[in-house]
Chain A
């Protein structure tokens, strides 16, 4: 039995920089700091939401955790082992444990493969079962995600967006993983289909005891699926809290602005904080607190000193000079 207190996944000070070079000598002229020192943990059977605007590094973070991108620094500890140093062979074994669902169901399926081939590909790669067992597994998986067994011989172009995303989920489930990184799994779908997929993902989590790292830009979606939520801005986590605490009592000015910006069915429930300007480039993040050029509560300290992510109350951490004491 796994230890209840020990998190399944622990990320410590994770960094992912993309070096920027110029000229024929490939002179290093700077780094795009997509992820810049991020720490959090995901417990067994838990779903952690990761929310932020485009360019905040949330997708890069997701891919780095699977080592689809090589981390520049920091540690990713899965079940007590640091996976940043694993070799290719050990990494392949890790793929059985951590899986990913992509944003664009269209692009994430090989157009030249049938649905059945795509779903069975993980079984083929890891040499699990014989033909008959794979076929049984395929039927089971298709039913699990709400597709018909006879759809196995269809090609991606013969399915709708929602169906393709179901295939993506089935493929991720084939290896019976413990953790699924879901990278904006519903943002390309219509509203009525989005609800189907979200419900499906929640049902599967209940049945299989999975953990999710659920990445999205849509706070309404995050609120629906995640128990704990981390808010990212320019490569850093600015606030991390339980769902109720985050939505009921947002501490970071960015979280506050983000929450107030979401259009809701009952307008005026929250006083709107309109942010001025746009997200700065991750190549040249502002000094001090990265949010200070847009922050309505900016203080002199914010321009010089970078605030650390501090736990201010039970399970509620924030990186802001307003909440230092």
Chain B
């Protein structure tokens, strides 16, 4: 099942901190997140709204609005370059070419006044020394690979002529046209219907198995994580609270938040009479509670949680958790 090799780390994010300096105060959107992406695996960043998962993804390519956003600490190491601190010029060579990003809203990510073909071919010619005909040929092949049957016709369509699922495919095609090593997808399954969601998940699965692509998959849905992920980073309040292989996250969650999240998820594969729910609500990123950010909602809270940030504890080599119960 797990085809990735353990030592082949392609991207390493270490203690990343991205703050937004707004007039109303400092929003610590990402406040110390560490993980590594291995060659050929699908790593899921999972959490609720405001947990910092999207900002983490944007921080890897420094694509958040700046100002007010700024990376105030940590490193993002790719190919022995620190993307968090390298000059813009160097970063631009990585963006799209080495690491591609698919944004959340498929609707607005495509320019409505250009045909799909124009947009894909333009993207290719920016990064690759191709003629228009060569680029066109490559685009058609890529679209076919993504499961779009009449690729030649689709190239002449405008975005509004495509359905949500098709747009998602076109976006993935666009991000693949420079053969990136890493693909970051931000909630690609959120706004689509169930049957389309299955198609999109299937497509990502193909990418992983056929192209050996390394994926960072951002979602709020643990069931989607279970379907597609190899390993998962559970995020809460701007921090990575638990990192483990997906099977372990689902079957033996260590952090009280992960456990709570699983218990409050209605799921077809389980019988349940009543859902457990986590009391309270996720914290406002501009007013994070002190200590462990989860402590106001945590059923297993102890005194130390209120004041001290929990350190990263190792349950096993592959399973890390940020909680005082394991420290």
B269: interface (CB < 8 Å): yes
Of A40-48, A117-125, A261-269, which stretch is located at the interface? A261-269
| A263, B223: Cβ atoms closer than 8 Å | yes
Q: How far is the CA of A198 from the CA of B274 in the complex (A)?
A: 10
Q: Which of A54, A192, A219, A224 contacts B261 (CB 8 A)?
A: A192
Q: Which of A54, A224, A258, A272 contacts B272 (CB 8 A)?
A: A224
For window 177-219 of chain B, which residues contact chain A by CB distance below 8 Å? 193-199, 201-202
Which among B166, B195, B199, B262 has the greatest number of chain A C-beta atoms within 10 A?
B195
| B195, A53: Cβ atoms closer than 8 Å | yes
A217: interface (CB < 8 Å): yes
Q: How far is the CA of A223 from the CA of B267 in the complex (A)?
A: 8
For window 265-296 of chain A, which residues contact chain B by CB distance below 8 Å? 265-267, 269-270, 272, 274-275, 278-279
| A269, B278: Cβ atoms closer than 8 Å | no
B220: interface (CB < 8 Å): yes
Q: How far is the CA of A278 from the CA of B281 in the complex (A)?
A: 36
Q: How far is the CA of A236 from the CA of B221 in the complex (A)?
A: 29
Shortest distance between the CB of B223 and any CB in chain A (Å):
4
Q: How far is the CA of A226 from the CA of B272 in the complex (A)?
A: 13
Q: How far is the CA of A60 from the CA of B266 in the complex (A)?
A: 25
Q: How far is the CA of A224 from the CA of B220 in the complex (A)?
A: 19
- Kindly report which residue of chain A lies nearest to residue B280, judged by CB atoms: A192
| B277, A195: Cβ atoms closer than 8 Å | yes
Report A-chain residues with C-beta under 8 Å of the C-beta of B261. 191-192
A190: interface (CB < 8 Å): yes
| A224, B275: Cβ atoms closer than 8 Å | yes
| A262, B282: Cβ atoms closer than 8 Å | no
| B267, A265: Cβ atoms closer than 8 Å | yes
| B262, A261: Cβ atoms closer than 8 Å | no
Q: Which of A54, A192, A194, A265 contacts B193 (CB 8 A)?
A: A54
| B221, A263: Cβ atoms closer than 8 Å | yes
Known: A190-B49, A195-B264, A219-B268. A261 touches B195 (CB 8 A): yes
| B275, A272: Cβ atoms closer than 8 Å | no
Known: A190-B49, A224-B272. A263 touches B264 (CB 8 A): no
Known: A160-B281, A192-B260, A193-B281. A221 touches B195 (CB 8 A): no
| B282, A264: Cβ atoms closer than 8 Å | no
Q: Which of A218, A223, A267, A272 contacts B226 (CB 8 A)?
A: A267
Report A-chain residues with C-beta under 8 Å of the C-beta of B262. 265
Q: Which of A191, A192, A202, A261 contacts B198 (CB 8 A)?
A: A261
Known: A195-B275, A199-B274. A264 touches B264 (CB 8 A): no
Per-residue CB proximity of A248-269 to B under 8 Å, as 1/0? Answer: 0000000001111111111101
Shortest distance between the CB of B305 and any CB in chain A (Å):
18
| B194, A265: Cβ atoms closer than 8 Å | no
B163: interface (CB < 8 Å): yes
Report, nearest first, the 6 A-B pairs whose CB atoms are least far apart. A195-B264, A261-B198, A195-B277, A264-B269, A263-B223, A53-B193
Given contacts A196-B277, A275-B198, 5 further A-B contacts (CB under 8 A): A190-B282, A223-B268, A261-B197, A267-B227, A272-B202
**Chain B: residues with CB nearer than 8 A to chain A?**
48-49, 163, 165-166, 193-199, 201-202, 220-224, 226-227, 250, 260-262, 264-270, 272, 274-279, 281-282
**Chain A: residues with CB nearer than 8 A to chain B?**
53-54, 160, 162-163, 190-196, 198-199, 202, 217-221, 223-224, 247, 257-267, 269-270, 272, 274-275, 278-279
Mind listing 30 A-B residue pairs with CB under 8 Å?
A53-B194, A190-B220, A191-B220, A192-B282, A195-B265, A195-B277, A195-B278, A196-B264, A196-B278, A199-B274, A219-B194, A219-B268, A220-B223, A220-B267, A221-B266, A224-B266, A257-B195, A263-B221, A263-B223, A264-B227, A264-B268, A265-B265, A265-B269, A265-B270, A269-B269, A272-B202, A274-B199, A274-B202, A275-B198, A278-B165
